[in-house]
Amino acid sequence: MSDDKYRHKWWGWGLEGIEYDMDARPSLWPWIRQKGELGDDPDLRPRVDLSEIRLPPARNTESLASALRMVVGDCNVRGDDDDRLVHCYGRSYRDVARLRAGIVDTAPDLVVYPGGHDDVVRIVELATQHGATLVPFGGGTNVAGCVERTAHDSRPGITLDMRRMNRLLAVDAQSRTADLEPGLFGPQIEEALAPHGLTLGHHPDSYIYSTLGGWLATRSAGTQSNVYGKIEDMVVGMTVVTPTGVIETRALPAASNGPDLNRLLVGSEGTFGVITRATMRVHAIPEYEDYRMLLFPTFQDGFAALHECVQCGYMPSLARLSDEAETEFMFAAKHPATGFQRWIEGPAKKLLKARGYGRPAALVLAFEGPRQLTLELRRGAMAIFKKHRTFDLGASPGESWKESRYDVPYLRDFMMDYGAIADSFETSTVWSNLMRLYETSNEALRRVIGDVTGFHGYIGSHISHLYETGACLYYTIAVRCREGSTPEEAIEQYSEIKRVATETFVSGGGALSHHHGVGYEHRPWIERELSERGLASLRQLKESLDPDGIMNPGGLLASEGPARIDGSD
């Protein structure tokens, strides 16, 4: 493929050859080993050799494959093991752990790379005629199981890899809209828009390896969602190919034309159809931006400061407040200081400690926009933060965070060599419930991690994605799996931790997910989230759009139980 630079290695995150640069962060590994109670054996949980992996045998798809080749050309219909393997799972801990252990019991029979809207129309027709299922696939970074075929389905399975559909179709600079194809990866979008002085402003943690189509299908949120909105807020028009026809919405700034079809299509996780075009709001590249890092004596102080700041109307473009545990991680993970900075670091730390910042909470903060307005926003915000006893570490650590923000997923692969279970869980809730949900979730995670692994592990959290009404609460955990576990047992331990996290969020007033999607991981809770009648109406809608159930049948709206929420099948 021409865009192989966006293809994950088969066993983990990111391109083959790119790994976490632990050498550049000498304090980190000792800290992690201690926190995650990991041993010193990098081969505790070695990954199998690629040659050992046995994919489930492909179904006979010869006539379907020939018909597909007529549409997209020979080289864009693939049935080789390499292609099947990189399209079988997303990139949750469960996914990566299974790949590393060679547990691959579901894979597409064919991977097809459409070149444009018309190809997709033909492919959906052919799939219908041949009784095959279709799973749209962007960058494959999803952590909720949205791109995985259910192993029970006897029908031929096609995964539709959208990466060839990576064109900027049109720009309307006067209206600040861009018509984009769904297979564009994050960096490709910004590269295409930059010559026009424009940006989409969407930077999720998966930015480098995820696509516009994937973001739309799962209601993604970027780091600057405070000002640019979640991906659903950015859509002005869409084209979606369903098995019963093409839905197309016109590119309008706003309308009163019945229920908003765009919002029905966004978040449908490939179960209604295939997105082939999206007209998106874009923005001028900000005239001025300011990234910095602040400290608060406690997470609670930082929470109070952010809450007041947002409610007083001083919304930062980015705010990511780490709790004390995650702040420790951030300081351990930083590149070592040199020269003057190193000389001053020791005394500065002592001073901070003496002032009550013994175990502080770090806030990464950004403002961006027209220079003077942005300066005024920052002034107002900083005045509020000062009341909450902030200590401004300045721009340098903020910039460092910005530069290394896409590195963390690589770290998980590194830790998994040592037998770690590591993943992230996220929710959102209203301000009045945020600290309560934080405490409850912390306690629930602490307990379940201890119960299932026998270790304490690391539990870190941050608040990000601010709204006037609330915010996202994001957890990262890392813990050694129970002594002597098989890979399957480690996955079972993960399943229980994941189940408790989700149950705690939903029963504690939080969202099932803020930006990771539903998939099969969160599907057991979807009825509680949407109400019985709400879920039923979406299922009925799916039935009308996709009467044969060929679109992502194991996904969001599947009526059967989850395929492998318990790690077995």
Alpha carbon distance 461, 450 (integer Å):
18
Does residue 318 touch a copy of itself according to CB under 8 A?
no
In the complex with a copy of itself, the residue whose CB is nearer, 57 or 253, is 253
The C-alpha atoms of residue 526 and residue 513 are separated, in whole angstroms, by 10
| Pick 85 or 565: Cβ nearer a copy of itself | 565
Which of 540, 560, 566, 568 binds a copy of itself (CB under 8 A)? It is 540
Q: For a copy of itself, which is the closer residue by CB, 249 or 485?
A: 249
Of 60 and 531, which CB lies nearer to a copy of itself in the complex structure?
Answer: 531
Q: Does 236 bind a copy of itself (CB under 8 A)?
A: yes
**Using the rule CB under 8 A, is 136 a contact of a copy of itself?**
no
Stretch that binds a copy of itself, among 32-40, 87-95, 153-161, 312-320 (CB under 8 A): 312-320
Per DSSP, 320 falls in state E
d(CA 453, CA 455): 5
For 343-408, the DSSP string reads HHHHHHHHHHHHTT-SS-EEEEEEEEESHHHHHHHHHHHHHHHHHTT-EEEEHHHHHHHHHHTT-H
Shortest reach from residue 538's CB to a copy of itself, in Å: 6
Sole binder of a copy of itself in the list 27, 34, 341, 469 (CB under 8 A): 469
Q: Is 289 in the site for a copy of itself (CB under 8 A)?
A: no
DSSP structural state of residue 138? S
| 220 binds a copy of itself, rule: CB under 8 A | yes
Q: How many chain residues are in contact with a copy of itself, going by CB under 8 A?
A: 95
* Least distance between a copy of itself and beta carbon 190 (Å): 18
Q: Which region, judged by CB under 8 A, interacts with a copy of itself, from 31-39, 97-105, 220-228, 319-327?
A: 220-228
Please report whether residue 246 would count as binding a copy of itself according to CB under 8 A.
yes
Q: Which of 27, 129, 341, 544 binds a copy of itself (CB under 8 A)?
A: 544
Asked if 175 touches a copy of itself (CB under 8 A), the answer is yes
Sort 440 into a burial class: Cβ within 10 Å, 0-12 / 13-18 / 19+: middle
User: Is residue 218 involved in binding a copy of itself (CB under 8 A)?
Assistant: yes
- Dmax (CA) of the chain: 74
Backbone angles phi, psi at 395, to 5 degrees: -75, -35
CB atoms within 10 A of CB 274: 28
Rounded to whole angstroms, the Cα distance separating 454 from 473 reads 26
Nearer to a copy of itself, 99 or 384 (CB): 384
Q: 474 catalytic, yes or no?
A: yes
Among 34, 537, 559, 568, binds a copy of itself (CB under 8 A): 537
Give me the catalytic one of 113, 291, 474, 520.
474
Contact between 378 and a copy of itself by CB under 8 A: the answer reads no
Question: In this structure, what are the phi and psi dihedrals at residue 170, rounded to the nearest 5 degrees?
Answer: -165, 150
Of 419-448, which residues contact a copy of itself (CB under 8 A)? Answer: 428-433
Closest CA to 551 of 152, 157, 271, 213: 271
Q: Is position 369 an interface residue for a copy of itself (rule: CB under 8 A)?
A: yes
Secondary structure tally for the chain: helices H, strands E: 19, 18
Q: In what order do the strands lie in the sheet with 110-112?
A: 77-78, 110-112, 157-161, 133-137
* Rounded (10°) angle between helices 371-387 and 299-311: 130
Q: Which single residue is written with the structure tokens 């088969």?
A: 10
Q: Interface with a copy of itself includes 263 (CB under 8 A)?
A: yes
Q: Which of residues 187-206 bind a copy of itself (CB under 8 A)?
A: none
Of positions 232, 417, 496, 548, contacts a copy of itself by CB under 8 A: 232
Active-site residue list: 474
